[in-house]
Structure 1
């Protein structure tokens, strides 16, 4: 049994900068084709651009973060927000510059497709723009 109160395992810095923890709550299997993972990002962390071969649902449990789909303006996501990202839509999501974020990510069993590094410079420009609002 897993609990979303557990922090999970510290993720290696392969597709993000900063500290992140992942807690695999449910692994896809023959009866249920979706993974449910809790992610916790420390403030000012990044996550690279990526997409999925299934829709992805993000449910923000605590804190504040940023979410952006390719070609659209970035937005602030907050506790209680539910975000649906359609199949094959390139996007990124992580903590804000001043707050950690904890969310549940629900996505299919196919591996994440990593597409492009999210640079610190780009993240900082998003943070500056969103924090000014």
Structure 2
């Protein structure tokens, strides 16, 4: 067993994010582990670009209200304590509301076979971000 030495907080690159995003790597497993676990903080209005994870992603909201958008135009709102699972290969985005900071834990896995764990696409447009049709939770 060992304590992990924390890495410095990193700024999210403009190639992946709109607005000010910072993250701390909490765990990056070494083989055979494929675990990835970050604390990600979004300034008001900040968001990821469209992306998909080869093995899926789990988001656990820590503070603020998270917005999570899907390609069909749905934008879900998640509150602190909510956990959202994004299936493998599903293109999505996530970020903060326009007026509040938001932080979430992001968990995903490397593929283990050299395939990229995350595939990044184009930025989320202001119209997609401001989509008025928001729902608190996906239907059960």
- Indicate whether 1:79 and 2:80 are aligned: yes
Unpaired runs of 5+ residues, structure 2, are: 111-115, 135-140
- Normalized per residue, which structure has more helix? 1
Alpha-carbon distance change, 98 to 2 in structure 1, aligned in 2, over 3 angstroms: farther
Per the alignment, residue 119 of structure 1 pairs with 125
State the 4+ residue runs in structure 1 displaced beyond 2 angstroms. Answer: none
Per-residue deviation, residues 34-84 of structure 1 (Å, max 9, x unmatched): 100111000111211100110211011111120022225111111111000
Tell me the residue number matched to 1:70.
71
Please list, as runs of the form range in 1=range in 2, the aligned pairs for 1:85-104 lying within 5 A after superposition: 85-104=86-105
CA contact (8 A) 1:68 1:91 kept: yes
Give the total of aligned pairs. 127
- The alignment's TM-score, normalised by the length of structure 2, stands at 0.80
Asked if 1:17 corresponds to 2:4, the answer is no
Residues 7 and 21, structure 1, Cα contact 8 Å, conserved in 2: no
Structure-2 residue corresponding to 1:46: 47
| Contact 2:55–2:117 under 8 Å retained in 1 | no
Q: Residue 116 of structure 1 aligns to a residue in which SS?
A: coil
The CA RMSD over aligned residues, in Å, is 2.2
- Rg larger in structure: 2
Q: What TM-score do the two structures reach when normalised by structure 1? A: 0.84
Contact 1:49 1:115 in 2 (8 A): yes
